[in-house]
Amino acid sequence: MDGGIALWMFGAVFIVLLMGYPVAISLAGTALAFALAGDYFDTFDSAFLEALPNRLFGIIGNGTLIAVPLFVFMGVMLEKSKVAEDLLENMSKLFGGLRGGLGYSVILVGMLMAASTGIVGATVVTMGLLSLPTMLKRNYDPALACGTICASGTLGQIIPPSIVLVLLGDVISSAYQQAQLNMGIFSPETVSVGDLFAGALIPGMILVALYILYLAGLAFFKSSSCPALSQQASSEGLAMDLLKGLVPPLVLIIAVLGSIIGGIATPTEAASVGAVGATFLAYLKKQLTIKQLKDVAQSTTQVTSMVFFILIGASLFSLVFRGFGGDELIEDLLSDLPGGVFGAMLVVMLVMFLLGFVLDFIEITFVVVPIVAPILLAMGIDPVWLGIMIALNLQTSFLTPPFGFALFYLRGVAPASIKTSQIYKGVMPFILIQLFLLGLLAIWPDLATWLPTVIYGD
């Protein structure tokens, strides 16, 4: 019976969210309401809530999570330093003479911005403002233009340094240690954010290649949807302009990502280097003012507060969920599924995909992953592979209607002539591409595990 109450908690959270309440308050409020009711009817032991202060102090003292505000600061600063604007302008000149060239430019710039900022909202909004009017003016199919911008913006979910990988790295690490302790292994191995960063590189590059192949196919078979620009857009100084726009973010990417993967710096230390580097880059581009610095700091505080507020609500929710025996119920359900490990993994991936229609990646990371990850890892699943599979799955949550955040970001800056249905239609092929990559990763786990093994050893 108790396990059933835990499942009712999930249903109650969905209802509260659909009523329009903030996520963190929905999670914490629902958990407290069920805890009080359970304590009154003697179906819940209030001693579970006594663990909450320790959990909150654990969050405050978590060195890995300090990387979150630093990466956010870095991303917002780069957004305001017009790096994307310079890159997109020069990439468009470079590829504009090809059919689908503008689309290639958007995807490649999206990839570079993902590796520089890791913030989906900033990339989608920037690309929407800069490239959508041009694509529409050049007679691109509106649905294709919208889909390309949304999909390229979500690359920040999987291409490191990604905030979702930082958060997932912390959650997966805790789940992996918990799984090993439950198995009687009292000297547990660890998995780091650097492992996930290295594991995400190859899948991220494959995803970019698949996006470009899709556009190339459309350019060949349906050229009217993505026509070429006139060749006169190129100039003699293009190479130098492209170099000036490309080198600074590349140096920043290598400094941040290379130091983490190479083991030279922790994610937090590398993020601080990235934040300082982004500020210096804005100074070099003469985009650094006191007002801008104030705006960046304010945006960083807002985003960071949202993340940690949700984390606190999710911690309370997970405690009450466990108090009602929800974790034991989920373990029994996954263990009894036909197909063993494959069946359990398939169901978890399907549930996460469906949750992505209505929940943000942060809620799924903090609420669902801590519940299912220890069970899956105890079945012998590689933690890096599991983390990358979840990250790719969560990436689709930004694109899936009706509540995909990338869709809302673009809707907010798109011209009135663009219908919401066109945005939905445009992202569908890219969702299928992401699901195809998930299938490839399921068949060949080495796509995620090979590079971390080469860099860090067994």
Mind listing the pLDDT tens digit for each residue in 203-242?
Answer: 999 999 999 999 999 988 888 888 877 654 445 566 777 7
* 75-85 confidence digits (pLDDT tens): 888 877 777 77
Each as own residue / partner, the long-range contacts of residues 327-335 (CB below 8 Å, 24 or more positions apart, any chain) are 327/371, 327/375, 328/3, 329/3, 329/4, 329/6, 329/7, 330/371, 330/372, 330/375, 331/375, 332/3, 334/372, 334/375, 334/376, 335/375
> DSSP letter string over 353-389?
HHHTTTS-HHHIIIIIHHHHHHHHHHTT--HHHHHHH
Q: Which domain holds residue 219?
A: 2-456
More confident position, 2 or 310? 310
Residue type at position 286: K
> DSSP letter string over 241-284?
HHHHHHHHHHHHHHHHHHHHHTTSS-HHHHHHHHHHHHHHHHHH
pLDDT band at 87 (very low <50, low <70, confident <90, very high): confident
Percent of the chain with pLDDT over 90: 20
3-class secondary structure, 138:
coil
Q: Report which DSSP code applies to 98.
A: S
Number of domains in the chain: 1
pLDDT at 1: 44
3-class secondary structure, 400:
coil
Q: Which of 317, 305, 407, 311 lies closest to 16, judged by CA? A: 317
Q: Which of 124, 195, 199 lies closest to 156, judged by CA? A: 124
pLDDT band at 34 (very low <50, low <70, confident <90, very high): very high
Q: Please determine, for residue 337, whether its predicted confidence score (pLDDT) is greater than 90.
A: no
- Check whether the bond before 402 is cis (ω within 30° of 0): yes
Q: Please determine, for residue 176, whether its predicted confidence score (pLDDT) is greater than 80.
A: yes
pLDDT at 233: 47
| Residue matched to tokens 């969905």 | 14
Mean pLDDT across 327-341: 81
**Chain centroid offset of residue 337 CA:** 29
pLDDT at 231: 55
* 376-385 confidence digits (pLDDT tens): 998 889 999 9
List the structure tokens of 59. Answer: 């969050």
> DSSP letter string over 300-338?
HHHHHHHHHHHHHHHHHHHHHHHHTTHHHHHHHHHHTST
Average pLDDT over all residues of the chain: 84
* CA 379/CA 423 separation, integer angstroms: 40
Q: Report which DSSP code applies to 183.
A: T
Mean pLDDT across 127-145: 85
pLDDT at 235: 54
Burial code (b: 16+ CB inside 10 Å, e: under 16) for 49-72 equals: beeeeeeeeeeeeeebbbbbbbbb
- Check whether the bond before 415 is cis (ω within 30° of 0): no
Q: Which of 256, 254, 298, 262 lies closest to 275, judged by CA? A: 256
Least confident of 179-193, 262-276, 289-303, 332-346: 179-193
Largest CA distance in the chain: 78
Q: What is the CA radius of gyration of the chain?
A: 22
Q: Please determine, for residue 252, whether its predicted confidence score (pLDDT) is greater than 60.
A: yes
Residue 430 has a CB neighbour count (10 Å cut-off) of 23
List the structure tokens of 268. Answer: 């937090």
